[in-house]
Amino acid sequence: MHLNHDSNAPASPNISFDDFLKVDIRVGTIVSANLFPEAKKPAYQLVIDFGETIGKKKSSAQITTQYSLDELVGRQVAAVVNFPPRQIGKFMSEVLTLGFPNENGEVILFAPDKAVPNGARLF
């Protein structure tokens, strides 16, 4: 599936509210961030804590141009937690960390503007 990152692209076709509820988007706190030198495109390996029920999950994120490793730890982010895990090289990415492209197409992380409990679900 290819997503259109163009800010001028028309909205996607309508879906039902039940379809929206199938996508489980949660907030978590990044507890570790490391370089991912084996990735085809520059990326970090993140470990994100989604609270007691979901726990800590791994994610590969192509955010190296906008974020340093030091500024990621402790930051809250949003992620889809119910996609199947995806093998990226030797790394198993368990969640899809969410962001929006800036004017250069580089990912800017999506997060709440105030702290919320880890594991809180987007609605």
Coil, helix or strand for 58? strand
Mean pLDDT of 92-111: 96
Mean pLDDT of 91-96: 96
Q: Is 41 exposed, middle or buried (0-12, 13-18, 19+ CB in 10 A)?
A: exposed
For residues 54, 68, 5, 120, the Cα torsion angle rounded to the nearest 10 degrees is 20
Domains, the chain, ordered by start:
22-109 (2.40.50.140)
d(CA 123, CA 24): 9
pLDDT band for position 1 (50/70/90)?
very low
* pLDDT beyond 60 at 119: yes
Coil, helix or strand for 72? helix
Instruction: Give residue 61's Cα distance to chain centre.
Output: 7
